[in-house]
Each structure stands twice: as structure tokens, then as C-alpha cells.
Amino acid sequence: MQLVINSFGASLNRNGELFKIVVADRKVEVAARKIQSILITTSVHFTSDAILLAIEHNIDVVLLDKYGKPFGRFWNGTMGSTSAIRRHQLKMAESYSGLLVIKEWTKIKLENQKEFLLELQRRRPGKDALFIPNINRIENAIVNLESVDGTPLESAQKIMGLEGTAGAAYWSVIGQLPPGEFQTKKRSKHPALDPLNAMINYGYGVLYAKVERACIIAGLDPYTGFVHTDNYNKKSLVFDLIELFRIFVDRTVLKLFTGRRCKKQMFRKDSSGAVILEKDAKELLLNNLNEYLAEKVRYKVKSSKKNKTRQIKRLDTIQSEAHTLANRILGKDINHIPKIIGIEELFQETS
């Protein structure tokens, strides 16, 4: 399970092999063996013994700011990664092989967006004028993506341009689907200017932590990416790899809004005008996102049998993709990175 502590003034302590959480007069104990990660989202007191227990059980402890963006974490100092992976990763980032990886990842992201819009269109007869032109823009970006070539730097800029064009089309539709008071005209990242974007940003922050964890476990260097710039302290590979999985958050958040489960009182504006999630909004999002990630999907695996798949949790596809990349970097996997195979029936909107 994922342990989320978002009550102001709560405390996290250790009791043998148990985590003890105290909130006001309430005390809860949870076995460490049952926990995969701990998210701390507000002012919480925790002991070094509790952190040690987490490290002993390979539990990721992530600190999130009020927007859901990770700003710190506790992790085992001996991550088991190999220097060979990191050396080859750096070489790949500066070569044509790295370009192929990012083209594959970007294509999957754009196809995820297109397929999601097609699903939404089928459930909304009479709104073809909204969907069809924007779906066509995404399809054109996918076609143009195939012809991208040149130096890694030139190609990366072209890929990001196509990604931006497709993203503008995608979000112009998504923003018009929630109930009227929650509709928005554009994507706003930091700060979020409306509840829909605030929810999306918070979900991406949680997902970001999961992707970084997957990179570390696979022995990858989170700071060496293929398309995002290698700025100081920027985890470029995490920004690259997360593109495959943003659709998980998009689907979860839009379902909450179209299902009318988000209320105005769940959001507030801070002094800068940024929209902030209240505690009940965070709980709603985290509970539903975790449920969605725990569902099983058909996932393509490397096999001598064509199109062989297996059932795994959506959350586990993140780790699987990270390991696939590590193997590919080491030359152990010359096939294309597996595509995450979604099942349409797993996503059903409430009327």
C-alpha cells in the first residue's frame, strides 16, 4: 500500500516492525512489510527510527510540497545500480540510439492522448466539431514524428515542438469536458490557475516520485535524459520517462470532474493567485489514482511468441519500463520498448 500522511501536526514513529502514525487523539499502526511508499504532504513530525525502518524495507519516503511536487526523499544509500548502466546511458543520450528511444516514447504518449480523446468522443454524440479537428492535429503530429531526423539536439527540438502542438490540441478538448464552473481554456502548470490544472499538477507530482523511484531501482541515472536539457539539479530522465504515464493521471482526474465528485470548496487560491488543493481534494485524488494504478492491464512482454501479453498492475508497468530501458542501454534488449496496453473497459465515466 501507499501510506499518505497529510494531516497537519501528525507524527510518524517506529514501534518494532510497525509504523505508528498519531493524528490528534487517533493512533494507527501499520506493518512495514505492507507498505511500498510513504508520501508526506504537510507539516509532519517523524523520527529517524521511522526513516530507518523504511530504508530497511526498501520503502520510498517522499516529501511533497502543497502543489504535489516532490522536493525531497529518503532512500537507501546503496541502491545497487551499476556504473556500467550510467556510462552507457550517457553515451546513448548523445547518440542516435537515444533519439530512437525518445521518438518511441513520444509516439506512445501521443497515441495515448489520441485514443483517450476517441473514447471520450464515442461517449459524447453530437460533439464531433470539438473532437475531430483536434484528434486530426494529434494524428498529424504522430505522422510528422516518424520523419524527424538530424542531430540529437536538432531532433529533440523538433520532437518537443510536435509534442507541444499535439498537447495544445489535446488540452483544448480536455479543458471543455468538466462541468461549466471547472472548465478551462488552457493548460497551466506552475502555478495552476484553475482546479482542473491544480488536480492534474498534483497527480503528476505523485507520479513523478514513482517514476524517479523506478529509475533508481533499475540503476538508471535520473539526471541523464534524452530530450530534456541537463540543467543543474534537473532530473531529465524522469521528465522523459514520465511522458509514457501521464495518461494515468489524465484519466483519473477527468473522471473525477466529469463524475461531479470535485466541489468548489475543495480548492482555494493562495496569495499569488495559484489554486491549491484542500485536504479532501488530495484524499480524493490519491485514493482514486492509487485504485487506478492497482488495476491490472494487459502488458506486452518480450517473447518468441508474437503479441504475447501478461497481466500486471498499472503501477508495475512503470518499473517494467525502467528495467527495459536499463537492459536496452546495456545492449540486452534490441527490440522496441514494450507498449502499455490499456483496456477500454477499465475506464468508465459516471453519468
Domain ranges, residue 38: 2-64
Q: What is the pLDDT of residue 69?
A: 73
Q: What is the pLDDT of residue 345?
A: 36
Phi/psi at 262 (5° precision): -95, 130
Q: What is the pLDDT of residue 203?
A: 95
Q: Looking at the domain assignment, is residue 23 inside a domain?
A: yes
Q: Looking at the domain assignment, is residue 247 inside a domain?
A: yes
Q: What is the mean pLDDT of residues 10-25?
A: 91
Helix (H, G, I), strand (E, B) or coil at 15: strand
**Number of domains comprising the chain:** 2
Q: What is the mean pLDDT of residues 327-342?
A: 60
Residues 152 and 182 in one domain: yes
Summarised one tens digit per residue, pLDDT across range 124-171 is 999 999 999 999 999 999 999 988 877 767 788 899 999 999 999 999
CATH of the domain at 14: 3.100.10.20
Instruction: Answer yes or no: are the C-beta atoms of 174 and 195 closer than 8 Å.
Output: no
Summarised one tens digit per residue, pLDDT across range 74-95 is 877 665 556 778 888 888 888 8
The percent of residues in the chain predicted with pLDDT above 90, rounded, is 48
Residues 59 and 108 in one domain: no
Exposed / middle / buried, residue 83 (Cβ in 10 Å: 0-12, 13-18, 19+): exposed
Q: How many CB atoms lie within 10 A of CB 225?
A: 22
Summarised one tens digit per residue, pLDDT across range 24-51 is 888 999 999 988 788 887 788 999 999 9
Summarised one tens digit per residue, pLDDT across range 182-229 is 999 889 988 899 999 999 999 999 999 899 888 887 878 888 888 765
Instruction: Answer yes or no: are the C-beta atoms of 4 and 28 closer than 8 Å.
Output: no
37: nearest Cα among 75, 91, 93:
75
- Sign, CA torsion 64/68/70/71: negative
pTM listed for this prediction: 0.79
Q: Looking at the domain assignment, is residue 299 inside a domain?
A: no
Residue 74 DSSP class = E
